[in-house]
Structure 1
Amino acid sequence: MNPLILLTLGATLLACLLVVLGAHAYAAGRAQRAALIERLTASGAPEPLGRRRRFRGVDRRLRRTRPGRRIEVKLATTGLDLTPGEFLVYMLMSVAGVWLVSAALLAPFFGPVAGLIGLWAGNAFLNWQRTRRTERFINQLPELARILANATQAGLALRTAIGMAAEELEAPAGEELGRVADRLAVGHSIEESLGELTERLPSRELVVLVSTLVLSARAGGALVGSLRNLTVTLEQRKETRREIRTQLSQVTVTAYLVPAIGLGSLLLVDMMMPGALDRMTGAFIGQTAVIIALGLFTLGFILIRRLSKIEV
Structure 2
Amino acid sequence: MNDPTLLALGATVLTGTLAVAGVQTYASGRAQRQALEDRLTADLGAGAGASRGRRFAGVDRRLRRTRLGRAIHLRLSATGLDLTAGEFFVYVVSVVVALWLIAAATLAPFFGPIAGVVAVWSAVVFLNWQRQKRIEAFIAQLPDVARILANATAAGLALRTSLAMAAEELEAPAGEELSHVAHQLTMGRSVDDTLGELAERLPSRELIVLVTTLVLANKAGGSVVNSLRNLTQTLEDRKETRREVRTMLSEVNATAFTVPLLGLGSLLLINSSNEGALARVTGSPVGQLLILISLGLYAVGFFVIRRLGKIEV
Q: TM-score, normalised by structure 2?
A: 0.91
Partner of 1:184: 185
Q: How far apart in 2 are the matches of 1:40 and 1:152?
A: 35
- Secondary structure of 2:70's match? helix
2:33 pairs with 17, 37, 50, which one? 37
- Number of aligned residue pairs: give it: 308
Q: How far apart in 2 are the matches of 1:17 and 1:268?
A: 76
Q: CA deviation at 1:29?
A: 4.5
Partner letter of residue 38 of structure 2? A
Change in 2 beyond 3 A, CA 1:107/1:238: same
Structure 1 residues 249-278: Cα deviation after superposition (integer angstroms, max 9, x where no partner):
000000000110010000000111011011
Change in 2 beyond 3 A, CA 1:58/1:148: same
Structure 1 residues 8-67: Cα deviation after superposition (integer angstroms, max 9, x where no partner):
9x96x8898788667645653453243223321232234747621122222222222222
Q: How far apart in 2 are the matches of 1:287 and 1:19?
A: 64
- Secondary structure of 1:45's match? helix
Partner of 2:73: 72
Q: How far apart in 1 are the matches of 2:69 and 2:195?
A: 25
Q: How far apart in 2 are the matches of 1:170 and 1:118?
A: 33
Q: How far apart in 2 are the matches of 1:31 and 1:99?
A: 41
Change in 2 beyond 3 A, CA 1:17/1:110: farther
Change in 2 beyond 3 A, CA 1:22/1:111: farther
- Secondary structure of 2:218's match? helix
Partner of 1:261: 262
Q: How far apart in 2 are the matches of 1:202 and 1:36?
A: 34
1:239 lines up with 2:254 in the alignment: no
Change in 2 beyond 3 A, CA 1:282/1:82: same
Q: CA deviation at 1:219?
A: 0.6
Q: CA deviation at 1:186?
A: 1.7
- Secondary structure of 1:80's match? coil
Q: How far apart in 2 are the matches of 1:63 and 1:105?
A: 36
Partner of 1:303: 304
Q: How far apart in 2 are the matches of 1:283 and 1:17?
A: 70
Partner of 2:230: 229
Q: How far apart in 2 are the matches of 1:34 and 1:54?
A: 21
Asked whether the 8 Å contact 2:78–2:202 carries over to 1, the reply is yes
Matches within 5 A, 1:1-312: 24=20, 27-46=23-42, 48=49, 51-312=52-313
RMSD between aligned alpha carbons? Answer: 2.4
Change in 2 beyond 3 A, CA 1:123/1:26: farther
Q: CA deviation at 1:83?
A: 1.2
Q: How far apart in 2 are the matches of 1:129 and 1:71?
A: 13
Q: How far apart in 2 are the matches of 1:20 and 1:125?
A: 53
Partner letter of residue 253 of structure 2? T
Q: How far apart in 2 are the matches of 1:197 and 1:31?
A: 36
- Secondary structure of 2:189's match? coil
Q: How far apart in 1 are the matches of 2:141 and 2:162?
A: 16
Change in 2 beyond 3 A, CA 1:21/1:268: farther
Change in 2 beyond 3 A, CA 1:16/1:300: farther
Q: CA deviation at 1:73?
A: 1.0
Structure 2 residues without counterparts, runs of 5 or longer: none
Change in 2 beyond 3 A, CA 1:68/1:49: closer
Structure 1 residues 143-196: Cα deviation after superposition (integer angstroms, max 9, x where no partner):
111111111111111111111110111100000000001111122111111001
Structure 1 residues without counterparts, runs of 5 or longer: none
Q: Percent identity?
A: 58
